[in-house]
Every structure is written in structure tokens, then in C-alpha cells.
Amino acid sequence: MTSAPTPNINRTIYTLHDDVVAGITQADVRFEGSAVRAALADSYGLEGADVRVLTQVHGNDVVVADTDVDGLEGDALIARADGFLIAVKVADCCPILLYDPPTRAMAAIHSGWRGTRENIAQECVSALCATYGCRPETILALVGPCAGGDRYVVRDDVASLFPDAVRSIGNGEYLFDNRSVVTRQLIEAGLPAMHITHDSSCTIADARYHSYRRDGQRAGRCYAYIGHVSRP
């Protein structure tokens, strides 16, 4: 994992596998809204449309992104073709990047508590297997920066959904460890624990990343991305 400031955009870059580039953009006040997408694309010598993103709805729909997906709804993308990035936008929700070396298939997943409740991680693994013939035991995963379990405060309605991943702090409030739940879901989907890498950064505490919990409506969005493109 390296931090890579460039003239175009700041990124945390992950070494998931030599066949793909993978990373997450860092907070930068110079970029707002779609400008982040354009800057990310430019940093890899791509056009803005080559960063393929969905209209995210906090569900568990998985979309095949080997062709253009603009205007489609969902919270996970899968693809195998070259020449573009697939990406999800996050600001405390958990980003998950998957790569299967034997098939060259990849995925980008947005798993907030609603997506985690719907087990979008397992849905995406199943979609990779059904679409590209992947086997869970060969898939590599990166669980990226998200709201940490020592700062992510939820109330009874959310806590009741994840009794094994919350800790009461009184007054009907709990600390929720979303990262631990999605990790368990990936293992239950068949991924070996040794194939799962974590960036343990907490987006609420770490000013390098956007955080809705910290900044409210002023928060931007980070792009967690993966793709078969040339490294800059």
C-alpha cells in the first residue's frame, strides 16, 4: 500500500495483484463531484467515462460492467475486460475490491450497513462465479478504509441487525464494526482468510478520507477502484 500524490489526484494504491491496478482516492478540496472521477481517469490516461460507476442505492444489486453502466443503479460492479476502471463511491461505507487471477475477473463493492445486511459481498462473489467461472478459493480481496468499529455509532435499529458486531456505549447507542462483518461474509462466501487484505484506516478519524459521519453534507466521496489499465 502506497500513498501517491500526483498533479492529477491523490490516491492510496494497493498491491492486490500485478494484473490490476487498485486504489482509493483521498480527500482533496480541489476536486468536487464529478471532477474527482475526471481526475482519477486522467491520472491513468483515461477519459472520464472510462471510470465506470453506478447510481448507488444501498442495496445488493450487482451489475456487469464490461460495457457502459452510466445511469444504472446498484452497489457492486463486476468486469473482466481491459481499458477501464470500475469504481464505487464511499464516505464511511465499506469499499471492497475483488480480483480473481485465473479468470482476470474483478469487482468493486459498496457495503454500508444496509448493503452489509443484504450481504452484498456474498452476492458479488456468487455473481463472479456465475458470470466468469470464478472459484471463491482463488479470489483475492481488499477491504478498504471505512468507519471504524471504535467510532461508528449506531442506534438500536441497526445494532439489532448485527448483534455480534456491536458494543453498547449507553443511551441506546452502540459502536458497530462493519469491517468485521463484511470480512466474515467474504470468508463465508468461500474466500480464504489469508486472501483478504485490510486497510484498517478509519474514515471518521483519518482526514485523508471523506467522512459523512464527520462532515455531514459537506463530505465529498472517495472512489475505490480496480481495473486492467496501464500504471502511470
Rounded percentage of the chain residues whose pLDDT exceeds 70:
97
As a whole number, the mean pLDDT across the chain is 94
Exposure string over 182-206, b if 16+ CB within 10 A, otherwise e: bbebbbebbbeeebbeebebbbbee
Arithmetic mean of pLDDT, 147-158: 96
Superfamily classification of domain 2-147+178-227: CNF1/YfiH-like putative cysteine hydrolases (3.60.140.10)
pLDDT of residue 232: 78
- Domain positions in the chain are 2-147+178-227
pLDDT of residue 218: 87
Helix (H, G, I), strand (E, B) or coil at 169: strand
Which string of DSSP letters, residue by residue, matches 101-130? TTTTEEEEEEE-HHHHHTTHHHHHHHHHHH
pLDDT of residue 8: 74
Q: Give residue-wise pLDDT tens across range 207-228.
A: 999 999 999 988 889 999 999 9
pLDDT surpasses 60 at 44? yes
Rounded percentage of the chain residues whose pLDDT exceeds 90:
88
Q: At what angle do helices 178-188 and 120-132 cross, to 10 degrees?
A: 30
Query: Looking at this protein, which amino acid is placed at residue 64?
Result: V
